[in-house]
Amino acid sequence: MDATSHSFKRNVHARLGDEALQANLRRFGGGFADRRRDAVGRVDDFEALRDRASEIRAEVLTHLDHWLLAFEAEATRRGTAVHWAETGAEANQILLGIARAAGVQRVIKSKSMVSEESGLNAVLGAAGIEVTETDLGEYILQLADEPPSHIIAPAIHKSRDEVSALFAEHHGTPLTRDIPALCEEARQHLRPRFLQADMGVSGGNFLIAETGSVAIVTNEGNGRMVTTLPRVHVAITGIEKVLPTLDDLSAILRVLPRSATGQDITNYVSVLTGTRDAGADDGPEQNHVILVDNGRSRLLGGALHDALRCIRCGACMNHCPVYQNIGGHAYGWVYPGPIGAILTPAFLGLEKALDLPQASTLCAACEVVCPVRIPLPELMRTLREQEMEQGLRPWHERLSIRLWRWLALHPALYAVATRWGIRVLRWLAGKDGQVHRLPGLDGWTEGRDMPAPQGSTFRDQWRTQLAAREAQGKARAAATPVAMAAAGAARSKAP
């Protein structure tokens, strides 16, 4: 997928000004967050489940090579072909090779974020193979020719009216606001595609080393058809998705749906192992798994290692006030929100996504909900450090931070600088005690006033007061007038 993460600020400006999008974002608002809170409230000790899930993911990553090879051996033994792809492009070529060898004309897909990374649909399309997305959200986006804006609710940025208009345009049907009718319409259009397809491409939420299985967690049931109806099934997923055992899967499934959609369990959990049994009448004749690295192994053991624990639940974006205001597309690549602010620079290169690690107030709303306890704010700060160290921040920013640090380490000079700063701000302030425009800090004053300082610094006033207290020997009585005077001064500036 082509990235626009380098022009984040421009993306943001456009999204904040897009009234239709803003209305859609507001409409859904904290929906997922509320549902998560309720779901978490229904279990006894969700924090313990988070601990367990985090441990499992952390343990796998420490011995990732071992678990991947174990998965490969077991999957192969059960008739699944395992392919390794270093890049997204390589994954696309492997998949294309499988399709060609099997004479595939039509592909149906269930949701796969890794295939968004690799831009698979475009590659298959260029090779003359028809691709149909069957996840409802992805289907809508395929018609709209847009990328997903959320990892579990890809079309969350679209209103029902927009979907209705899209369906009317592509299906030649009348407009309707009835959501079940829209779903039924999609179902009618997808059914023949399911039946005609000769290859199903799915993602893989998890790989189970113990059984060589691919586990898929869905709500619409399309994943089950994609993986069982066509004669060839290919799962394409990241190398970090492996879990040692089915027990581990069950531990992870306790936190995934609750964190994602606030469901206790999703409508479907499919564990796919090997090919169609002899004599059985469903299941694929060929089963393939493509394990995609695409930058992941570079993170192992490094400063961003913990980000690989991610189980793609989307909770971090559902709780992120930045995401909630700008939507997923502004982030400019496959993964939006806090985890995207880490994975995009990690996978594409920091220089291609300079603003993303900065696109957070570090409010930690993500961290406190992440089911695998990824320290997301800390990782964003780490990336900020890397930007600094690699000289990727503007020179004036680097210079002003060094200057500020130097001053902060020299209290006497710092006091002088603060006194001057206060003077300048008070001079710039209007009669209302607010600075309306502050050269160099336009980022602030474009949308907000800057309340001017009240007077001299606290420490200067405190020194005076301390002397007075000592002179009078009446400690507490002295505190009042100065505080009052300062307060009064600030008050009298207001109209």
Q: What does the block give as tokens for 100?
A: 């060609």
Query: In the complex, what is the shortest distance from the CB of residue 367 to ligand SF4, in angstroms, rounded to a whole number?
Result: 9
Tokens representing 316? 């971090």
Q: How far is the CB of 146 from other proteins (least distance, A)?
A: 22
Question: Binding to ligand SF4 by residue 313, rule CB under 6 A?
Answer: yes
**From 76-84, 135-143, 309-317, 470-478, span contacting ligand SF4 (CB under 6 A):** 309-317
Among 25, 61, 249, 311, binds ligand SF4 (CB under 6 A): 311
Distance CA 328, CA 489 (A): 46
Residue located via tokens 């040692």: 244
**Contact criterion met (CB below 8 Å) for 293 and 85:** yes
Does 321 interact with other proteins (rule: CB under 8 A)?
yes
- The C-alpha atoms of residue 150 and residue 162 are separated, in whole angstroms, by 17
Displacement of CA 359 from its chain's centroid (Å): 12
The two tokens of residue 417 are 């600088």
Question: Judged by CB under 8 A, does residue 420 bind other proteins?
Answer: no
With contacts defined by CB under 6 A, how many residues of the chain interact with ligand SF4?
12
- The pair of three-digit structure tokens given for residue 233, joined into one six-digit string: 């099934």
Residue 120 burial class via C-beta count within 10 angstroms: exposed 0-12, middle 13-18, buried 19 and up: buried
Q: Choose between 255 and 478: whose C-beta lies nearer to ligand SF4.
A: 255
Kindly state whether residue 255 participates in binding ligand SF4, applying the rule CB under 6 A. Answer: no
Token duo for residue 208: 């189970």
- Rounded Cα distance, 55 and 61, in Å: 10
Residue 339's binding partner among other proteins, ligand SF4, none (Cβ under 5 to 8 angstroms by kind) is: ligand SF4
Q: Which stretch binds ligand SF4 (CB under 6 A): 141-149, 266-274, 314-322, 345-353?
A: 314-322
Shortest approach of other proteins to residue 463 CB, angstroms?
A: 8
Instruction: Identify the residue among 20, 23, 30, 221 touching other proteins (CB under 8 A).
Output: 30
Q: Which of residues 363-402 bind ligand SF4 (CB under 6 A)?
A: 370-372, 374
Where in 354-459 does DSSP place strands (E)? 434-435, 450-451
Cβ distance to ligand SF4 smaller for residue 236 or 308:
308
Helix (H) or strand (E) holding 192: helix 179-196
Count of CB atoms within 10 A of residue 223's CB? 28
Q: Which of 302, 310, 369 is nearest to 341 (CA)?
A: 310
Q: State which of residues 81, 96, 181, 450 lies at the interface with other proteins (CB under 8 A).
A: 450
Q: Find all residues with CB under 8 Å of 351, minimum gap 6, and list them.
A: 392
| The only residue of 349, 442, 464, 472 in contact with other proteins, by rule CB under 8 A | 442
d(CA 287, CA 226): 12
Does residue 316 belong to the site contacting ligand SF4 (CB under 6 A)?
Answer: yes
Identified binder of other proteins from the candidate list 2, 44, 282, 389, rule CB under 8 A: 389
Out of 267, 351, 443, 474, name the contact with other proteins by CB under 8 A: 443
Find the helix or strand (DSSP H, E) in which 39 lies: helix 31-41
Q: Which does 58 bind (CB under 5 to 8 A by kind): ligand SF4, other proteins, none?
A: none
229, 223 contact by CB (below 8 A): no
Which one of residues 150, 193, 312, 329 is an interface residue with ligand SF4 (CB under 6 A)? Answer: 312
Side chain identity, residue 191? R
Pick from 108, 201, 315, 341 the residue near ligand SF4 by CB under 6 A: 315
Q: Using CB under 6 A as the criterion, what x/- string covers residues 322-341 for binding ligand SF4?
A: -----------------x--
Nearest CB to other proteins, comparing residues 220 and 355:
355
Q: Which does 370 bind (CB under 5 to 8 A by kind): ligand SF4, other proteins, none?
A: ligand SF4
Dihedral sign for Cα atoms in the order 372, 373, 376, 378? negative
Count of chain residues binding other proteins (CB under 8 A): 78
Residue 355 near other proteins by CB under 8 A: yes
Task: Please check whether residue 270 is in contact with residue 63, taking contact to mean a CB–CB distance below 8 angstroms.
Answer: no
**Shortest distance, CB of residue 148 to ligand SF4, whole angstroms?**
13
- Pick from other proteins, ligand SF4, none: which does 310 bind, CB < 5 to 8 A by kind? ligand SF4
Q: Which stretch binds other proteins (CB under 8 A): 46-54, 96-104, 233-241, 437-445?
A: 437-445
Angle subtended at Cα 267 by Cα 261 and Cα 272, rounded to the nearest 5 degrees: 115
How far apart, in whole angstroms, are the C-alpha atoms of residue 310 and residue 133?
24
Residue from 89, 122, 265, 483 in contact with other proteins (CB under 8 A):
483
Can you name the residues that pair with 242 across neighbouring β-strands? 207
458-472 and 411-428 helices cross at what angle (nearest 10)?
110
Listed ranges 46-54, 162-170, 176-184, 451-459: which one lies at the site for other proteins (CB under 8 A): 451-459
495 binds other proteins (CB under 8 A): yes
Given the rule CB under 6 A, which residues bind ligand SF4?
A: 310-316, 339, 370-372, 374
